[in-house]
A and B are shown apart, each in its own frame.
Chain A
Amino acid sequence: MHELSLVASILDQLEDELAKRPGSRFSKVGLRIGDLAGVDVDSLTFGFDALVKDTHWEPLALEIETVKRRQQCPRCKHEFEAEHWSTACPACNEAATVTIAGEELQIAFIEVEE
């Protein structure tokens, strides 16, 4: 359960963003979380609500875009979603494919009220 630490890092960075925009208010923060990030979205949402409650951030909405793991085949260049973690190329059976998406753990955007 490191999701609380992640939320604390997110709020720290929002604080920096707020300092750049004095007088504005944030209404939403958007995150991008990949399948390989090792983050439980429900725990993160729970931790977010808990840490935002009764602070100057309230009300602050959370939007999470989850990103599926995608692989690319080095042999036939086929790109595919790794369903059930299966990373072998469905087109040519190559086993050693390369991960091209799914590791994201990012703050994508903030919504500012002006």
Chain B
Amino acid sequence: MSTQIPVEKKVLNENQRIAAELREKFREHKILVLNVISSPGSGKTTLLERTLQQFDKNKRVVVLTGDLQTENDARRLARWGYPVKQIVTGGTCHLDAKMIEKHLADWPLDTFDILLIENVGNLVCPSSYDLGEHAKVVILSVTEGEDKPLKYPSIFFKSELMILSKVDLLPYVPFDAELAKQNARTVHPGMEIVEVSCQSGDGLRQWIDWIEAKFAAVRSGALELSAAK
């Protein structure tokens, strides 16, 4: 005879448990944590490079950068003088909370203020994994399709901010920026959007101000970490 027993547990229970532990540690040390996600080639590493280059040098920033293979991104990012560590996933298409926990193990949490996580280039899988972050940030470049938010709704729904990148290319590509923004806000009503060009530098200040405002909110206790969407 068979009986149905309710379980009602999250599939990613174990990831959630580790993310909750990380979140508690980040809260204790008042560290701002951002999880940056995009397709391959949208400009995550370039954006982070420009961010580090221009960031307030008094802020202690560290970066974890994920890739299936190679340490290339860590080398690129390390040039700006902040501690950077590469997470080589060896084929896994996303970062999970356990990888973050492991790579933070020998970085004392009282030695930095802001942790930037560059996820593996992928718009699907990283959306399911909570890393204990304050916010997910999704990048969409103007060389992609305006309908990406509709094709990959999960990540656009879960990200607090969308960065529309490579906007210096707008005169040369058939990309309707207004439509892209409208699509993002269809999936995620009220989504914040910043337009950035890492070549001309346009919009970088606005993005850095966004990070600074989040950081100030973490320090003042106004922004408490809650379970990520």
B54 to chain A, nearest CB (A): 32
A25 to chain B, nearest CB (A): 9
* Interchain Cβ contacts under 8 Å between A and B, 14 examples: A1-B93, A2-B129, A5-B96, A9-B15, A13-B11, A85-B187, A87-B186, A87-B189, A88-B186, A95-B189, A107-B8, A109-B6, A111-B2, A111-B4
Complex Cα distance, B189 from A23, in Å, reads: 50
B13, CB-defined interface residue at 8 Å: yes
Complex Cα distance, B153 from A2, in Å, reads: 16
Kindly identify, within residues 1 to 57 of chain B, every residue whose CB is under 8 Å from any CB belonging to chain A. 1-15
CB neighbours of A110 from chain B (8 A): 4-5, 7
Given known pairs A27-B2, A109-B6, the reply for A12 and B189 (CB within 8 Å) is no
Q: Which partner residue on chain B sits nearest A113 by CB separation?
A: B2
The total of chain B residues at the interface (CB under 8 A) is 37
A51, CB-defined interface residue at 8 Å: no
Interface residues of A: mostly helix, strand, loop or mixed? mixed
**A2-B125, A5-B96 are known contacts; what are 13 more A-B pairs with Cβ within 8 Å?**
A1-B125, A12-B14, A28-B2, A36-B157, A37-B154, A38-B128, A38-B155, A86-B186, A87-B189, A103-B229, A105-B10, A108-B7, A112-B4
CB neighbours of A86 from chain B (8 A): 186
Interface residues of B: mostly helix, strand, loop or mixed? mixed
A40, A87, A112, A113: the one within 8 Å of B187 (CB)? A87
CB neighbours of B128 from chain A (8 A): 2, 6, 37-39, 105
**Would A96 and B186 count as touching, CB distance under 8 A?**
no
**Would B154 and A106 count as touching, CB distance under 8 A?**
no
A residues contacting B by CB (< 8 A) are 1-2, 5-6, 9-10, 12-13, 17, 27-28, 30-31, 35-40, 69, 84-88, 95-97, 99, 103, 105-114
B108, CB-defined interface residue at 8 Å: no
A1, A85, A105: the one within 8 Å of B12 (CB)? A105
CB neighbours of B8 from chain A (8 A): 106-109
A9, A37, A99, A113: the one within 8 Å of B14 (CB)? A9
